[in-house]
């Protein structure tokens, strides 16, 4: 079982994040935000420091999360954004020794209120397909994260979108916490059983609150997600990707350490 953490959930200074993560026994880091920006649009100094830190601490980069496609599907500068961000992201992924890139499924708009679950505007499918083709050509695996503000908000909708795109390079970054925030009452086992064949990456967070509009991140094990059951099912189903802590609440260092420790206790209890 490979445990990772989003580095900026500890600190936006990568060295600090790695020093603390290694102290906690973490050897894999997902890259998202640095002080200079979100990958790959970071300063030359931040970029040049990554590999020496990785080598000095003998750690690895599990994935990049550049916020790819977390924009409206009809944004006037969409082509410019995609054409600029894709090659930079793929180049950085190759340089850092990972083939995994987390992406999103475009921000929902008013049409979401009138379309049935699992139906999407044609341009969402078209653009996702184009990006998936580019990823396949670059040898990159796209991991579509279900996210409440995007078309692929719940696990079911994200899976429906992936299946409609129909590319082997596009798989699911399963986030039960995000699914719960999007209004799913039982991400596990209900949604998981419908999407498990697509799961290639997992984000680990917990969410509390009954009102969908006021759900909030809490320490892993303190919320509504059945993480012991989810871990057991993933192991049973042969999942061999990364379990990535995505803390999402403060204070970051204390909260992240608490989530790491809680997750490890669950693994001991259920595996």
Q: What is the mean pLDDT of residues 207-221?
A: 89
Counting every residue written for the chain, the total comes to: 271
State the pLDDT confidence band at 229, using cuts at 50, 70 and 90.
very high
State the pLDDT confidence band at 214, using cuts at 50, 70 and 90.
confident
> Residue 206: which H helix or E strand, with range?
strand 206-208
List pLDDT tens digits, range 83-106: 999 999 999 999 999 999 999 999
User: Per-residue pLDDT for 219 more than 90?
Assistant: yes
What's the pLDDT at 143? 98
List pLDDT tens digits, range 234-254: 999 999 999 999 999 999 999
List pLDDT tens digits, range 28-80: 999 999 999 999 999 999 999 999 999 999 999 999 999 999 999 999 999 99
Sequence-ordered list of residues with C-beta below 8 angstroms from that of 158, at least 6 positions apart, any chain? 105, 144, 145, 146, 152, 172, 195
Tell me the CATH architecture of domain 2-270: Alpha-Beta Barrel (3.20)
What's the pLDDT at 110? 95
State the pLDDT confidence band at 213, using cuts at 50, 70 and 90.
confident
List pLDDT tens digits, range 20-41: 999 999 999 999 999 999 999 9
How far, rounded to the nearest angstrom, does the alpha carbon of residue 245 sit from its chain's CA centroid?
10
What's the pLDDT at 177? 97
User: Per-residue pLDDT for 270 more than 90?
Assistant: no
- What DSSP designation does 196 have? G
Q: Are strands 2-6 and 28-31 parallel, antiparallel or unpaired?
A: parallel
Report yes or no: 230 and 174 within 8 Å, Cβ to Cβ. Answer: no
State the pLDDT confidence band at 186, using cuts at 50, 70 and 90.
very high
Q: What is the pTM of this model?
A: 0.97
Sequence-ordered list of residues with C-beta below 8 angstroms from that of 103, at least 6 positions apart, any chain? 66, 68, 69, 131, 142, 143, 144, 145
Mean pLDDT of the chain: 97
DSSP bridge pairs for 171: 143
What's the pLDDT at 243? 98
List pLDDT tens digits, range 151-174: 999 999 999 999 999 999 999 999
Give the residue extent of every domain in the chain.
2-270
> Residue 51: which H helix or E strand, with range?
helix 44-57
User: Per-residue pLDDT for 212 more than 80?
Assistant: no
State the pLDDT confidence band at 271, using cuts at 50, 70 and 90.
confident
Highest mean pLDDT of the ranges 183-187, 207-211, 227-231:
227-231
List pLDDT tens digits, range 102-136: 999 999 999 999 999 999 999 999 999 999 999 99
DSSP bridge pairs for 170: 142
Q: For the beta carbon of residue 36, count every other beta carbon within 10 angstroms.
A: 14
Report yes or no: 1 and 241 within 8 Å, Cβ to Cβ. Answer: no
């Amino acid at each position: 079982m490979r445990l990772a953490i989003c580095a900026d959930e500890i600190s936006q200074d990568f060295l600090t994040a790695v020093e603390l993560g290694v102290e906690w026994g973490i050897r894999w880091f997902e890259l998202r935000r640095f002080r200079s920006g979100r990958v790959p649009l970071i300063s030359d100094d931040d970029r040049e420091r990554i590999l020496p830190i990785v080598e000095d601490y003998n750690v690895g980069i599990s994935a990049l999360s550049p916020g790819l496609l977390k924009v409206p599907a009809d944004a006037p500068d969409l082509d410019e954004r995609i054409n600029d961000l894709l090659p930079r992201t793929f180049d950085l992924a190759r340089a850092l020794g990972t083939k995994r890139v987390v992406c999103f499924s475009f921000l929902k708009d008013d049409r979401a209120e009138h379309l049935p679950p699992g139906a999407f505007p044609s341009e969402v499918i078209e653009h996702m397909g184009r990006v998936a083709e580019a990823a396949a050509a670059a040898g990159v695996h796209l991991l579509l994260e279900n996210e409440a503000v995007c078309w692929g908000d719940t696990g079911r909708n994200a899976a429906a979108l992936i299946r409609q795109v129909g590319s082997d390079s596009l798989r699911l970054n399963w986030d039960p916490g995000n699914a719960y925030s999007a209004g799913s009452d039982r991400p596990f086992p209900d949604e998981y059983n419908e999407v498990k064949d697509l799961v290639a990456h997992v984000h680990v967070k917990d969410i509390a609150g009954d009102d969908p509009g006021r759900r909030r991140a809490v320490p892993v094990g303190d919320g509504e997600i059945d993480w012991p059951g989810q871990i057991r099912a993933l192991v049973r189903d042969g999942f061999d990707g990364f379990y990535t802590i995505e803390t999402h609440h403060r204070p970051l260092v204390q909260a992240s350490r608490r989530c790491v420790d809680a997750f490890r206790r669950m693994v001991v209890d259920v595996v």
